[in-house]
Amino acid sequence: NAGVTQTPKFRILKIGQSMTLQCAQDMNHNYMYWYRQDPGMGLKLIYYSVGAGITDKGEVPNGYNVSRSTTEDFPLRLELAAPSQTSVYFCASSYSGRGVTDTQYFGPGTRLTVL
């Protein structure tokens, strides 16, 4: 199993450009998440999904969009990139069922710089 994979690893964007961060998991997890990590700030949840076709906002959703058409994939879309979106982005997945949350497995991250 590859686990959680993310592409690209690094990206530099100009202000106003758009891009999609890709995330895929091969563990048949129903839950998937997108976080951003800023220095000294821990991880902040951007969006999450409890299954294909179902997404919801996290703590910091502004400037981002997500979709989940399959169990495996959960892309994150940045529209009109701003310097405030410079961060490291992590995708994660977990299995949750019968009222119990299981371990979240993280991808290796995408380091995004907006200039």
47 sits near another protein (criterion: CB under 8 A): no
> Does position 73 bind another protein by CB under 8 A?
no
Q: Is 74 exposed, middle or buried (0-12, 13-18, 19+ CB in 10 A)?
A: buried
Binding another protein by CB under 8 A: which of 7, 69, 84, 101? 101
Nearest distance in Å: CB 109, another protein = 5
Edge-to-edge strands, sheet with 4-7: 4-7, 19-25, 76-78, 64-66
Place of tokens 């997890």: 29
Question: Contact positions toward another protein, by CB under 8 A?
Answer: 4, 31, 33, 40-45, 48, 50, 56, 58, 90, 92, 94, 96, 99-101, 103-109
